[in-house]
Structure 1
Amino acid sequence: MQNHLVSFIRLLRSHDVRVSPAETLDAMDVAAVLGYAGRERLRDGLASALAKTPAEEAVFQHCFERFFDRELADFASTREEREAPREEQDPALEPGPGAKPEATGRASPDDSLLDAVAAEDAGLQALLDSALLRQLRDNDRTALNLAMGEAAAGVGLSQIQMFTQKGQYLRRMLDAMGEEQVRRAIADLERRQSPALEPLKRYRDILREQVRDYVARQYLLQAEGDNARFMDGILSTTRLSNLEHRYLQRVQELVRRMARKLAERHARKRRVFRRGRLDMGKTLRRGIANDGVMFNTYWRRVRKDKPQLLAICDVSGSVAAYAKFLLLFLYSLQDVLPRVRSFAFSSHLGEVSELFTQHPVEKAIELVNWRYGGATDYGSSLQDFAKLALDDINSNTTVIILGDARNNNGEPRLDILRSIYQRSRRVIWLNPESRRAWGTGDSEMLRYQSACHFAAECNNLVQLERVVDQLLKLNR
C-alpha cells in the first residue's frame, strides 16, 4: 500500500500539486495511523497533509476519487448479469484471512459443455482448474480485480504517458495474469475443431475487454497531467501570432501561472533597520529565552524607492497578439513589479494605464486594441510619447518597447529614442521578428537598437518569461 500511495503522490505532482519529500513522509504517517479501511477518513487525512491551497484541494479531491475508485470490473458473460443489481463493495476493505471470494456460482450451458469436453481432455481440464479460469467462470470480481491491480503494478502501468502505449501495456498485463495459457488452449481447440472452442473464446474476450477498459481508465488518469504539461510546453514555444483562438484561454492561464512563479521568486523581502516600526513578532520570539522579558527590540522598515516601468506597445495588426500577452504578463505581476504605465500606438500613441485600473486585464487589452489599432508610424508615435511622458523619465525608469520596428518607410525619429536612452535607467526593446529579419525592407530595428540597452527577439511565452525574469532581477 505504500507503493500505491507513492503512485498517488506522483499523480498529484503530475497535476501541479506541490508535494515535498517531507510531505510524502507525513502522508505515509497519516495513512499508517488512519489505515485504509475508512475511505472518507483516509481521504480527509491525506488532504490535510498534501493539499495546501483551495485550488490544490480541488485537484486532490478529483485525483483521489479517480485513483481510489471503488467500482469493481464485472467479468459476467452476459449483459443481463452485468446490469443486475449488486451490493456495493469498498475495495479498501480487503478480505481477511480465510474469507471466501465473491462468486456467483453460476452454471451455464457453456460451463456444462466445457466440463464435458474437459472430462476427455487433460490439457483443457488443467486449464479449467487454473486460478484464472476458476475466477472467470465464477465471476469472482474481488480476486480478478486484485489480479488486475497486481498485474498493473508489475508491468508499471502507472508510467503510461501516451495513448500508443495502451496496446503494449494491455498485452503485458494479460501475460502477467496468465492469459497466454488460454491463448494456447484456444489455438489447440481451433485446430481440432472442438465444441469447447466458442465457450473458451467467450471467457478470453471477457478478460481482454475488462483489462482493456482498465488500461484505458489508467491512461486517462495517469497521462492527464503529463499530457497537460506536454501541451503547455508546446504552447509556450509556439509563436504567439500562430496560436489558434481555441487555445487563448489556456495560454492566458499559462501566463498567469508563469507570473505567479516569478512573483514568488522575486517577492520583495523586508530589510531590518535600527529604527522604524517595531517588529513585535521577532521581539517576542527572541525574548522567550529571557522568560518573556524584551531585553532586545527589533525594528523593520520597507525601503521606499519608487522605480517606474513604462511599457510602449505596438498594437498594429502584425504585433497585436504579442502586445496582448506582454501587458497580461506585466499586469499579473503588480505585487512585484514597480508602478507600470502603459502606452499603446500604431499611427498615434496614447496612455492606456487608466483602462487597466477601470477594467479587468483582458477587457482592458481589448479596448486598447480597438482604440489604437491601425497602420504603424513609429516616428509620430515617439513624438506623442515625448509630449506625454518624456519629462517623467529619470534614472529609476525602465522603458520596455514591444514592436517590429517596421515604420512603412516613414521618419523613425531616432533622436527621441536616444533622448529616452540618456534619461532612463534602461531601455529594453522586444521584437517578435527573427533577428535575421532586422534591418530588412522597411525595418528600422538596427538603427533603433543603437539607442537601446538591450534588444531581444521575443515571440513566444518562454522568451517573454525569460525577459521578464531578467527585468525583475534588475529591479530587486
Structure 2
Amino acid sequence: MEEKILEFARALRKADVRVTPSEEIDCFNSLKHISLEEKETFKTALQATLIKRAADIPVFYHLFDLHFSSGSPENDLPKKNAPLDQGSPNGEDLLDHATLAEAIDRALEEIDSNVMGLSVHVLGGNGGQLHRLIRAKGQEVGVQNMGYFLQINYYAQKIIESLDWKGIEADLNLLLKTLSEKGFDARNLGQAKKLLNYRMNLFKNAIQQYVKREFEKKDFKFKQKSAEETLLGKSLLQYTEKEVETMKGVITQLARRFRELETLRQQKARRHRFDVKGIFRKNLKYGGIPLDLSFKEKRKNKPHVVTLCDVSNSVRNASRFMLQFLYSLQDQFSKVRSFIFVDEVAEVTDLFKRYTLEEAITKAMTQMGILYDHLSDFGSAFSAFCDAYLNTVTSQTTVIIMGDARNNQYPPREDALKEIKIRAKRVIWLNPESSWSWNFGDSIMAYYEPFCDKVVECRNVKQLAEAIDKLIL
C-alpha cells in the first residue's frame, strides 16, 4: 500500500497538484489510525493530508478513482477465490467454485514454479504479482510515451505480445494433466479449463485497462486544459450555467489583469510632467537657465470604475458571466460601482460586497426590483441612470457598458449616454455579439458608438482578455 500511495502522489504532481514530502509523511502517519478497508475514511485521510487547494479537489477525486476504486489495477485482475462473472462460461456446477479453485491451487503447488514461471500467477489468479508484472512490461514497451488515446490499443498489444502465451498454454495443459491424475473426470476438467481460460482473458483485459488508466493519469490535466481552451473560444451567449461556473477562476484572473493594467496606465500617465513654475524657482540662481529640471508630483488617484450590465433574457448566460467579472472587479478595486439594467436600472454594489459570488449573482438576476422579462431598452436605462446615479461618474471614472445594443425599436436616447461621456474619463462598451451583426435588425450600436472611447466585440473570453490588454494600455 505504501508503494501505491507514493505512486498516487506522483500522479497528483504530474497533474500539477503540489504535494510535498512532508505531506506524504503526514499521509502515512494518518493511515496508521484508520482501517484501510473503510474506503471513504481512507479517501478522506488522503484528501486531508495531500490536498491544500479547493481547486485541486476534482483532480484528486479523478485520480483517486483511477488508483483505488473498483476500477483500480488489482481489481481488473483474476482473484483466487472470486467466482466467474454472470454470463461467464461456468458450465454446470459439477464442483462449487471454491472447491475448484482450491483444487487448482493444490495442483499448482505440486508443479515446480520454476518450470511454470509466469503461468503460475496467471492461472493461479495472483493479482498482486500480475499487477507488478504489467507495470514492469508497460515501462519496457514505453507506455509513458503515449501521446494520444488512439495509442492505447497499440501499447496494450505490445505488452501482450511481449509475454510467452505459448508457454502459458503449455502450462495450462500441464495443469489439466495434473488435475486428471488427481481424479478429475472429463466434465470436471472441462469446468477447470473454462475457469483457467477465464482467468487468462481477465489478465489480457487487465493489460488493456492498465494502459488506458496510464493514459488517463497522464492526460487528465491535458483534457482539463483542452476543455477550458474550448470554453475560451465559445460565445458567451451560448454558455450554460455550468460552463459559467467552470470559468470562475479565469474570470478572477481577468479582473486581476484589468486592475494591474489600469494601475500601470495611470503610472505611465504620471511620468515626465514638467513643473514649469518649479523649474523657474529652482533655476533663479542660474539666471533663469533651466539647468535643474523639476517634475510635477501629481496626486495619485485610485482607479474608479462604474459598470452597467444588461441582464435581459436575450443575453442571460452572457450576463451571468459578466456579473462574475463585475463581482471579481470589486475585489480588485477599492472604488467600483456596479449596476444592472433591462429597461430600468438597479445598483448591485452592496450586493456584491455582502454575499458570496453564487448568492450575489442569483439575487442580481432575480431580486433587484427590475422587470427581468421585459425587452431591453438601453435608452430608458441610460436615462434612468443619469437621473439617479450620474453623480457616481467623475473625471476619474472609467465607465464599462456590457450589452448587445439591441434596443427593440425603443428610442435610443443617445443624449443620455452623451451626458455620461461628458462626465467620465473614458467609456468602454463590450458587446457580446459579433461585430458583423451590429446595426442589423434592432441593433443600434451606431447611435451609441460616437459617445464611447472604445466599442469592442467581446463574444468570448479570449476577446475579453484581448480587450483588457488593448483598452487599458
The TM-score range, normalised by the shorter chain, is 0.5 to 0.7
Q: 2 CA distance for matches of 1:451 and 1:387?
A: 18
Aligned residue type for 1:143: Q
Cα distance change of structure 1 residues 204 and 141 upon mapping to structure 2, 3 Å threshold: closer
1:325 to 321, 326, 333: 321
Q: 2 CA distance for matches of 1:334 and 1:211?
A: 53
Aligned residue type for 1:393: V
Gaps of 5+ in 2: 33-41, 86-100, 173-189, 268-298
Please tell me whether residue 344 in structure 1 is matched to residue 347 in structure 2.
no
Cα distance change of structure 1 residues 108 and 350 upon mapping to structure 2, 3 Å threshold: closer
Cα distance change of structure 1 residues 173 and 450 upon mapping to structure 2, 3 Å threshold: farther
Aligned residue type for 1:408: N
Structure 1 residues 1-12: aligned runs within 5 Å: 9=10, 11-12=12-13
Q: 1 CA distance for matches of 2:135 and 2:30?
A: 18
Please tell me whether residue 232 in structure 1 is matched to residue 228 in structure 2.
yes
Contact 1:433 1:457 in 2 (8 A): yes
Contact 1:346 1:377 in 2 (8 A): yes
Q: 2 CA distance for matches of 1:68 and 1:38?
A: 20
- 53-62 vs 340-349, which deviates more? 53-62
Contact 1:11 1:63 in 2 (8 A): no
Aligned residue type for 2:13: L
Describe the superposition over 1:345-369 as per-residue Cα deviations: whole angstroms up to 9, x where unpaired: 2222233323333443333333333
Q: 2 CA distance for matches of 1:358 and 1:262?
A: 19
User: CA offset at residue 174 of structure 1?
Assistant: 1.7
Structure 1 residues 47-446: aligned runs within 5 Å: 53-55=52-54, 72=74, 74-76=77-79, 79-80=82-83, 108=104, 129=115, 131-158=117-144, 165-179=151-165, 201-244=197-240, 248-260=241-253, 263=256, 305-370=301-366, 371-373=370-372, 374-446=374-446
Aligned residue type for 2:158: R
Contact 1:8 1:67 in 2 (8 A): no
Aligned residue type for 1:456: V
Contact 1:262 1:469 in 2 (8 A): no
Aligned residue type for 1:168: Y
Cα distance change of structure 1 residues 81 and 369 upon mapping to structure 2, 3 Å threshold: closer
Decide which structure has greater helix share. Answer: 2
Aligned residue type for 1:254: M
User: CA offset at residue 62 of structure 1?
Assistant: 5.3
Contact 1:166 1:216 in 2 (8 A): yes
Aligned residue type for 2:78: F
Q: 2 CA distance for matches of 1:37 and 1:350?
A: 54
Contact 2:255 2:328 in 1 (8 A): no
Contact 2:8 2:63 in 1 (8 A): no
User: CA offset at residue 148 of structure 1?
Assistant: 0.7
Cα distance change of structure 1 residues 131 and 449 upon mapping to structure 2, 3 Å threshold: farther
Aligned residue type for 1:402: M
Contact 1:312 1:344 in 2 (8 A): yes
- Secondary structure of 1:318's partner? helix
- 133-142 vs 433-442, which deviates more? 133-142
Cα distance change of structure 1 residues 52 and 139 upon mapping to structure 2, 3 Å threshold: closer
Cα distance change of structure 1 residues 470 and 111 upon mapping to structure 2, 3 Å threshold: farther
Gaps of 5+ in 1: 20-25, 83-104, 116-124, 187-194, 272-302
Q: 2 CA distance for matches of 1:365 and 1:65?
A: 33
- 381-390 vs 161-170, which deviates more? 161-170
Aligned residue type for 2:418: R
Describe the superposition over 1:281-306 as per-residue Cα deviations: whole angstroms up to 9, x where unpaired: xxxxxxxxxxxxxxxxxxxxxx9633
User: CA offset at residue 220 of structure 1?
Assistant: 4.9
RMSD: 4.8
Contact 2:73 2:131 in 1 (8 A): no
Q: 1 CA distance for matches of 2:153 and 2:159?
A: 10
Contact 1:135 1:144 in 2 (8 A): yes
User: CA offset at residue 431 of structure 1?
Assistant: 0.9
User: CA offset at residue 227 of structure 1?
Assistant: 2.8
Cα distance change of structure 1 residues 52 and 426 upon mapping to structure 2, 3 Å threshold: farther
Contact 1:432 1:459 in 2 (8 A): yes
User: CA offset at residue 143 of structure 1?
Assistant: 3.2
Equivalent residue number for residue 88 of structure 1? none
TM-score (normalised: structure 2): 0.64
- Secondary structure of 1:332's partner? helix
Cα distance change of structure 1 residues 330 and 13 upon mapping to structure 2, 3 Å threshold: farther
- Secondary structure of 2:244's partner? helix
Q: 2 CA distance for matches of 1:424 and 1:131?
A: 83
Describe the superposition over 1:146-189 as per-residue Cα deviations: whole angstroms up to 9, x where unpaired: 11111222344456686655433332332234448768999xxx
Equivalent residue number for residue 450 of structure 2? 450
Equivalent residue number for residue 274 of structure 1? none
Q: 2 CA distance for matches of 1:236 and 1:39?
A: 41
Number of equivalenced pairs: 381
Describe the superposition over 1:33-54 as per-residue Cα deviations: whole angstroms up to 9, x where unpaired: x8x999969x9xxx9xx96844
- 138-147 vs 395-404, which deviates more? 138-147
Contact 2:403 2:430 in 1 (8 A): yes
TM-score (normalised: structure 1): 0.63
User: CA offset at residue 407 of structure 1?
Assistant: 1.7
